[in-house]
Structure 1
Amino acid sequence: MMKNNISNIVINIQTLFDRAGLSLPFSVDPQLEITGIADNSRSVAQGNIFVAIRGTNTDSHQYIGDAVARGAALIIAETAPSDTTVPVILFDDTRSILGKIAHAWYDNPTRGMIVVGVTGTNGKTTSVHLLESVLKTAGYNTGVIGTIEYRFANEHIKADNTTPGAIALAKLFGQMKEAGVNAVAMEVSSHAIDQKRIDGIAFDACLFTNLTQDHLDYHGTMKTYADAKYQLFSRLLPQAQKIGKITSAVFNIDDETGCDFFKKYPGEKSSFAIDNPLAKLRPSAIEANANGMRFDITSLPIHIETFLVGRFNIYNILGVIEVALRLGISLEVIAQGIHNQKTVHGRFEPVPTNLPFTVLVDYSHTPDALQRALENARVLTQGKLIVVFGCGGDRDKTKRPIMGHIAAALADSVIITNDNPRTEPPESIAEAIREGVQQVRPDMEDACTVIDRRAAIAKAIELAHVGDIVLIAGKGHEDYQIIGTVIHPFDDRLVAAEYLKAREEAEVSH
């Protein structure tokens, strides 16, 4: 018996393993009916497969007994349990197997659609939004998976993670296929690659934006971080090739890691850069102001006009152009698709105001991203540059003084504040940032700490004058703040708009 609708699937184990490209042991009844897949024993239902995973903090092999008690019909594990009443299939790497059988459960939806994966420290979200716009302009029914949301047809699902877990991700692709989606642009985080959440996805193209310091609390070293990113190209693209897809890899070779990846990747590949003369795509005749940019491509008869601003967005656009070319999209459609993308939420996003200065909200929460945002804001400002930012708690502590140093070196005024402190004391995070500030400004003139983020934003807007730019950095699109273990509503854009309106009204009344 097989029921194929998304919400109510029952598949025999032989069919599932055939779809996943796995061999079923003779000891397992090929007609065994499976009703679902779970990697958490508490979510196991009658007839499910339970996949035991060795995690960072817990090993779910210890919960096999609980999964069986809840009705698991089959166990997939790396080591055999001491005693169980249901069949057990052993694999060396159950993380990878989970992704493959999860996608097989939904009949491998990505094999019948275009899937582009974008990875890198910065630029993933903007690149994915640009890709979506180009693909839509080319006539595709698109889906997006990323930091802000998961989006397709009329569905908008708030993102819990940049890249969902393996089972949730497979289900999402299944829903997209059912809704008629035939092209998906997705952000791929280093965590998702390392944890093999994306195994089972048949990628057509993968884009590398850059690699700068981030997530060292998880990866430990920049080398380990880079190695995780490279797996998208070295491991996932060959998997797609095995099932018949023609794949491409696109690299930013102004980035040192991107250049290394480009040199060692053996498959079909291409490159882009602003400075490196060896790149296939490079911009020329760049014109930019606060309202957008225009430029040409040295090797192509294409003229780009965009509402996006900043050197970092030239990189994002170049990568998208090359991916789109690899997908067979025409230059005219590519240019129009890029022009159609107005802004990206929380990415150098202006907050509307009638006051004679500019307020920008940006997600720059890494040293490199903050530096790029400040450098681009500096080019645009006619007055002073004021930055408000903090660093997340329970995350990489080494970047805090670095970001303080960058802010003090590039901004005229620095306001250190809360980001998502989580379980760390906000004052200790601010003090670490202040150490970097003091390297540049020992006397702390034009630099202060205002722990309350709302008050910090208010102070920045109060300080701003004609021609100034206020950059509120670190949280971007986020509409929450995590203090302790409690998630509080908080949106930089709304808070800034509130204080801008109050100042407008106050100035009118005077």
Structure 2
Amino acid sequence: MNLCAFREEAVQLKDIIQSLEIDGVKGDLNLQITGLTSDSKKVSAGYLFVCLKGSRFDGHDFLNEAKEKGIKACLVEREVELQEGVTIIKVKDTMEAVGSLAANFYGYPSSKLKMIGVTGTNGKTTVTYLVEAILQKAGFKVGRISTINYHLEDEEIPAPVFTTPPAIEFQKILARMVTKGISHVIMEVSSHALATSRVKGCHFEVAIFTNFSQDHLDFHHTLEDYLSAKIKLFESFQGPDSTAIINIDDPASETIISRTKANILTYGLSPQADLTAEEIRLSLKGTSFKVQGEEMELNLIGRHNVYNALASIGVGLVLGIEMGIIREALKGVNSITGRLEFIRMGQDFDVIIDYAHTPDALRSVIKTLREVAKGRITVVFGCGGDRDRSKRPLMGKAAASLSDYLIITSDNPRSEDPLEIIREIEAGLSEGSICPYSIIPDRKEAIRQAINLARRDDTILVAGRGHESFQIIKEEKIPFDDRKVASFWLEEKGYHGSSEGR
């Protein structure tokens, strides 16, 4: 679906800005505004242009370009000079204001939807898919916003770079969901989105906290700031009409619980959790466990997916869905793209693609495989460029602690030198590691080498990129899908069938 083609109704300017704290206005507020954008390239006649100041560009610098394309109004945070004909609304912080502005323009769509948000370092995408399955099984029309894509009942929009869409696009998507008759929305709420107020103007009925560990310190700078961003989702709850579903086994849970006014439902594997799993059985074919005496079966593997399932079960119970419906829904989820996804072409060893790109996620995934794998575990991974450098040696250390063999390669180097990134990863392996490894900067060649080295019952984990379909090198996006590359090399070795029986 082309979201840009979604028809927008004109709204009077004074109605759009009614909930904003305004520092000053120059011009007419009785104008009809036909659209919103913060991208000067997307401006159309009659639009309101929002001047956002980012790390690389300042929207105020593109204001004259936007005026030439016919904007009627602009939202600014510093004094600007424009000729007559454009109304100027000045606020203290346009990033803080744009969420409410967009919600006003699109008629507060979240008030017409049951909004369920998921935040945490790892597990968000899987939880959104599991919750979506539960809600659909219960008969609801469901929308999902996740890292992989945005799902609007029977339509899909490829997700851009952002886990959570920018504020204007986000409210536009919610408005589109309302017009399609969707009743429930399950979405990932990233720390970036919370820190930059992308979801301001949105009321959540349920929020899930999955876990907390190091990531995104290139943006947040400290773990304290990173956690504070996550907590904003739970601080937004003002009363008992909302529920926070919290992983009580995570050390950050106590802080989050102390900072919210919502009802609390805890989950985890510890006895004090409100919702816990018993009799857990793990294998390469799936996972089973009991919750409140009910037998649950997952086609997903690993103890971390027990946590993801418990969070999803919690949502179902909070919304009054019967446990039998929840059980059938979870059983029906066969796989999630790029999340412990098996590439099966008849080979007698396993090739698995996973998005694990943090030290904790990589450690958890390899530990999962260690619990169920019969043979050796080879891990192919790298780290992204222009991102948190401090986690690179931690990723190396995490991978080396549980693997039999490592191949360190390139991920998305962006503007950085891939070899320098690899050297920083390698520093973590020198800390007492006895795990043998090789360095193959070419990711395609690294995957080929891993497959060539595999023996019967071995497991190859290709980690870090999961569902991603391109590799970012300098300013160029090059088509590259770990799943397709692994399939190509397996086919080159003569494998063409399916190994569903493995």
TM-score when normalising by structure 2 = 0.92
Which of 251, 274, 289 lines up with 1:280 in the alignment?
Answer: 274
C-alpha separation in 1, matches of 2:82 and 2:465: 49
2:38–2:51 CA contact under 8 A, matched in 1: yes
Q: Secondary structure at the match of 1:312?
A: helix
The match for 2:42 is: 43
Residues 173-192 of structure 1: matches in 2 within 5 Å?
Answer: 173-192=174-193
The match for 1:169 is: 170
- Please tell me the residue identity of whatever aligns with 1:408: A
- Alpha-carbon offset, residue 62 of structure 1: 3.9
C-alpha separation in 1, matches of 2:87 and 2:158: 37
String of CA shifts for 1:74-122, please: whole Å, max 9, x gaps.
2322333255523333323322321122122222222111111111110
C-alpha separation in 2, matches of 1:163 and 1:288: 32
1:262–1:271 CA contact under 8 A, matched in 2: no
Which of 243, 246, 255 lines up with 2:250 in the alignment?
Answer: 255
Q: Secondary structure at the match of 2:380?
A: strand
User: Structure 1 residues 99 and 385 mapped into 2: Cα distance closer, same or farther (>3 Å)?
Assistant: same
- Please tell me the residue identity of whatever aligns with 1:177: V
String of CA shifts for 1:321-380, please: whole Å, max 9, x gaps.
112211222212111211111110110111113222111110001100000010001111
- Please tell me the residue identity of whatever aligns with 1:106: Y
Matched, 1:211 2:205: no
Residues 132-151 of structure 1: matches in 2 within 5 Å?
Answer: 132-151=132-151
- Alpha-carbon offset, residue 51 of structure 1: 2.1
1:408–1:440 CA contact under 8 A, matched in 2: no
Q: Secondary structure at the match of 2:462?
A: strand
1:103–1:200 CA contact under 8 A, matched in 2: yes
String of CA shifts for 1:37-94, please: whole Å, max 9, x gaps.
1223443332222222232333323444443343222232233325552333332332
C-alpha separation in 1, matches of 2:189 and 2:390: 24
The match for 1:461 is: 451
User: Structure 1 residues 301 and 24 mapped into 2: Cα distance closer, same or farther (>3 Å)?
Assistant: farther
C-alpha separation in 1, matches of 2:64 and 2:253: 46
C-alpha separation in 2, matches of 1:132 and 1:466: 37
- Please tell me the residue identity of whatever aligns with 2:35: G
The match for 1:424 is: 416
- Alpha-carbon offset, residue 474 of structure 1: 0.6
Which of 456, 459, 472 lines up with 2:462 in the alignment?
Answer: 472
1:251–1:259 CA contact under 8 A, matched in 2: no
User: Structure 1 residues 99 and 285 mapped into 2: Cα distance closer, same or farther (>3 Å)?
Assistant: same
C-alpha separation in 1, matches of 2:369 and 2:89: 56
Q: Which moved more, 1:264-273 or 1:360-369?
A: 264-273
The match for 1:57 is: 56
C-alpha separation in 2, matches of 1:481 and 1:490: 6
2:52–2:95 CA contact under 8 A, matched in 1: yes
2:99–2:201 CA contact under 8 A, matched in 1: yes
Which of 479, 488, 491 lines up with 1:501 in the alignment?
Answer: 491
Q: Which moved more, 1:433-442 or 1:150-159?
A: 433-442
- Please tell me the residue identity of whatever aligns with 1:358: D
The match for 1:98 is: 98
Q: Secondary structure at the match of 2:493?
A: helix
User: Structure 1 residues 28 and 429 mapped into 2: Cα distance closer, same or farther (>3 Å)?
Assistant: same
RMSD over aligned CA atoms reads: 2.3
String of CA shifts for 1:262-318, please: whole Å, max 9, x gaps.
23323222211112x322111111122111111112xx3432111111111011111
User: Structure 1 residues 441 and 24 mapped into 2: Cα distance closer, same or farther (>3 Å)?
Assistant: closer
Which of 258, 261, 267 lines up with 1:266 in the alignment?
Answer: 261
C-alpha separation in 1, matches of 2:65 and 2:248: 50
Which of 276, 290, 312 lines up with 1:296 in the alignment?
Answer: 290
- Please tell me the residue identity of whatever aligns with 2:136: K
Matched, 1:379 2:403: no
The match for 1:305 is: 297
Unmatched 5+ residue regions in structure 1? none
- Count of matched residue pairs: 491
String of CA shifts for 1:119-149, please: whole Å, max 9, x gaps.
1110000000001000100111111111111
C-alpha separation in 2, matches of 1:252 and 1:479: 31
1:125–1:187 CA contact under 8 A, matched in 2: yes
1:6–1:106 CA contact under 8 A, matched in 2: no
Q: Secondary structure at the match of 1:97?
A: helix
2:411–2:464 CA contact under 8 A, matched in 1: yes
- Alpha-carbon offset, residue 26 of structure 1: 9.3
Q: Secondary structure at the match of 2:494?
A: helix
C-alpha separation in 2, matches of 1:62 and 1:353: 53
Q: Secondary structure at the match of 1:439?
A: coil
Q: Secondary structure at the match of 1:125?
A: helix
- Please tell me the residue identity of whatever aligns with 1:422: R
2:244–2:263 CA contact under 8 A, matched in 1: yes
- Please tell me the residue identity of whatever aligns with 1:501: E
2:22–2:92 CA contact under 8 A, matched in 1: no
- Please tell me the residue identity of whatever aligns with 2:486: A
1:142–1:182 CA contact under 8 A, matched in 2: yes
C-alpha separation in 1, matches of 2:8 and 2:192: 30
